[in-house]
Amino acid sequence: MGALLGLAINAAVFAPLRERGDELRPLIATIGVSVLLENAQLALFGPIPYQFDSPFARETLRFGRIFFSAQSALVVCVSAAAIAALYAFLRFTFLGKALRAVAQDRETAGLMGINPARDAHLRDRLGARRHGGRIARAGARALALRGRHGDRQGVRHRHHRRLRQPAGHDHRRHPRRHHRGVHGAVPRLRAHRPRRLHPAARHARRAPDRPDRGAQGGERLKRALWFGAAIVLVAALPWLISTAYWRGILVLCAMNVLLALALNLVMGYTGQLNLGQSAFFAIGAYVSTILIKTYHWNFWLAGVAAIIAAGFLGLALAAFAVRLRGHYLAIASLGFAVITYQVLVNWESVTEGVRGIYGILPPVRSTVELFYLIAAIALVVYFAMENLVRSPVGDTLRAIREDAIWKAFAFGVGAAIAGLAGCFYPGFVGTLVPDAFNIVESFTMLAMVIVGGMGTMIGPVIGAVVLTFLPELLRGFGELRLMIYGIALTLVVLFLPGGIASCFRRAR
């Protein structure tokens, strides 16, 4: 049953995404499918755990001074046998070698006759040889054409070298005639060259530049109008929503916008798969709270210190991760998030561990003022980042993605913005516990960027708003709300490769 379900999900969701050659969207689709399957099982079987009696649970084995149950020994033996069988399959069978080849280099494996679109199926050896023969013949044909083209270029180069040789060498034409024909025309042309500059024509003054400047001015005006409309909408939202609960959701949405913008700078413009963003969010929250509660710092000074601490740790992570990319960078950043979470849990003398820190006051008096404060900071960050990505620095971030300095710059700025968002979280909730910053939060931030539209400025904002309000709007469906959430997340990733922002671009 599990194998059939896996094949069906692979054919419906993951196979189309793999054909697009994207590594991030299958990850988000995995989150959506996991949420869907988990809540479907809860709806079918209920949340109460079932108890099964094992025939080996009561038997006890002794190995020296170590006692363990027969069931534990059986689990260890079965696991060791399964690992050995899997190793032998991947190491010695043709199908296992094909799977490893696809995982290591998809394009080269396809050239060798393996179909990368099907991880569980492989062509027979005859089909692979035939496909390899076609590739060999096509490569030989290309080399032949390249050789002919190279010969022509070589003839041209030799001809130019003959023309550049001084008179006196053995040429087909007479040296003097050749010297007069090639080099003698140059002085005559120089002799008739005018000695002063003529005024430019009337049509060549500044007319060609006016349409470009007009287009730039129109683009700036459009951006200013959108920015003004965003300010008006943000100012009107607390008055359009009167309940305290939904105003709290507005505050949470503003913080998620900051987190999504920070992660989009790292992923969308430098191409780095960072899964440790929740760690910087936690660092900003804990550093500011500890400085306020323990050392009685002012909120703004504590916030500056938290931002600097998060940015510094982001640079420290970048120093170790500059040589990594893709899944390796994702695993390294995820490991940093796990380490940060464990430090928050076990360093009880400073962080209070799982007991948490209570009685944290917000920097302002009401929820509406807190929303205005965080939303204003989010607008400033958005405007600054938009000017950054439109500047030569942004062009450099997109063009030179492998440069260590720009990787560290993106990591540091993204971590500092996440730390800035973390400064406001403890005051909003009133308590601070490590469970609020587990690795699930990193995947949620990643989903906001992908669903909204990675590599755009408005996309993460849309993704943060949608994924913040959608679970709350689906509360009326009861236990089905998370299933609908998982389905919606999977469908957006599957049918909108450019995110929700691509719909607005198509509409224009």
pLDDT in tens, 10-25: 888 888 887 776 667 7
Q: Comparing 318 with 205, which gets the higher pLDDT?
A: 318
Q: What is the pLDDT of residue 216?
A: 64
What pLDDT is recorded for position 484?
A: 85
pLDDT given at position 312: 95
Q: What is the pLDDT of residue 401?
A: 60
Q: How far apart are CA 503 and CA 508, in angstroms?
A: 9
Query: Residues 278, 445: contact at Cβ < 8 Å?
Result: yes
Identify the domain containing residue 450 by its residue range. Answer: 243-507
Q: Tell me the longest C-alpha to C-alpha distance in the chain.
A: 110
- pLDDT-derived band at 113, boundaries 50, 70, 90: low
38 within some domain: no
pLDDT on residue 498 = 83
Is the pTM higher than 0.75? no
So what's the pLDDT on residue 117?
A: 58
168 backbone φψ class: left, alpha, beta (φ>0; ψ -120 to 50): left
Asked, for residue 35, whether it belongs to a domain, the answer is no
How far is Cα 297 from Cα 285, in angstroms, rounded to an integer?
Answer: 14
Q: Tell me how far apart the alpha carbons of residues 476 and 100 are, in angstroms, rounded to a whole number.
A: 46
Does 351 map to a domain? yes
Q: Where are the beta strands (DSSP E) in 162-265?
A: none
User: Is 453's pLDDT higher than 70?
Assistant: yes
Tokens of 197: 């500059």
H/E run at residue 358? strand 357-358
Q: Which helix (H) or strand (E) holds 458?
A: helix 458-473
Lowest-confidence segment of 70-79, 173-182, 266-275, 345-354 by average pLDDT: 173-182
Q: What percent of the chain has pLDDT over 70?
A: 75
Q: What sign results for the dihedral spanned by CA atoms 309, 311, 312, 314?
A: positive
Question: What percent helix, strand, coil does the chain show, rounded to 5?
Answer: 75, 5, 20
**Is 255 domain-assigned?**
yes
CATH at residue 433: 1.10.3470
For residue 221, is it within any domain?
no
Q: Which of 147-161, 175-189, 479-493 has the highest mean pLDDT?
A: 479-493
Burial class (CB in 10 A: 0-12, 13-18, 19+), 315: middle
pLDDT of residue 361: 92
Structural tokens at position 50? 């079932």
Question: Residue 188 is inside which H or E element, if any?
Answer: helix 185-191
Query: In this predicted structure, what is the pLDDT of residue 199?
Result: 52
Helices (H), 243-366: 244-267, 277-293, 299-321, 327-346, 348-351
- Judged against a pLDDT cut of 50, whether residue 254 lies above it is answered with yes
Task: Give the total number of structural domains in the chain.
Answer: 1
Least confident of 83-97, 173-187, 303-317, 438-452: 173-187
Residue 326 inside a domain? The answer is yes
**Exposure string (b/e) for 71-109, b if CB count within 10 Å is 16 or more?**
eeeeeeeeeeeeeeeeeeeeeeeeeebbbebbeeeeeeb
Most confident of 39-43, 80-84, 102-106: 80-84
User: Which residues share a beta bridge with 431?
Assistant: 358
Higher pLDDT, 13 or 200: 13
Residues 238 and 364: their CA atoms lie apart, in Å, by 15
Q: Answer yes or no: is pLDDT of 125 > 70.
A: no
Of the two residues 211 and 441, the one the predictor is more confident about is 441
The percentage of residues in the chain with a pLDDT greater than 90, rounded to a whole number, is 35
Q: Reply yes or no on whether the pLDDT at 492 is more than 60.
A: yes
pLDDT given for residue 494 in this prediction: 86
- Angle subtended by helix axes 244-267 and 404-429, to nearest 10: 170
**Per-residue model confidence (pLDDT) at position 158:** 37
Cα dist. 73→57, 86, 87, 167, 177 in Å? 10, 20, 21, 93, 99
Is 36:490 a contact under the CB 8 Å cutoff?
yes
Average pLDDT, the chain: 78
pLDDT at 119 over 90: no
Distance CA 86, CA 235 (A): 59
**Spatial distance between the Cα atoms of 101 and 109, rounded to a whole number of angstroms:** 6
- Give the tokens for residue 126: 């005859």
CA atoms within 13 A on the CB side of 128: 16
Picking from 396, 414, 415, 416, the residue whose alpha carbon sits closest to that of residue 406 is: 396
Q: Do the beta carbons of residue 411 and residue 272 sit within 8 Å? A: yes
Q: What pLDDT score was predicted for residue 398?
A: 67
* Side-chain half-sphere CA neighbours of 389 within 13 A: 21
Position 171 scores a pLDDT of: 43
Confidence class of residue 384 from pLDDT cuts 50, 70 and 90?
very high
State residue 130's pLDDT score. Answer: 38
Tell me whether residue 30 is in a domain: no
Q: For residue 446, is pLDDT > 60?
A: yes
Neighbours of 380 (CB within 10 A): 10
Q: Which amino acid is at 384?
A: A
pLDDT band at residue 483 using 50, 70 and 90 as cut-offs:
confident
Kindly tell me if the per-residue pLDDT of 291 is higher than 70.
yes
Does residue 171 lie in a domain region?
no
Contacts of residue 168, Cβ cutoff 8 Å, sequence gap at least 6: 175
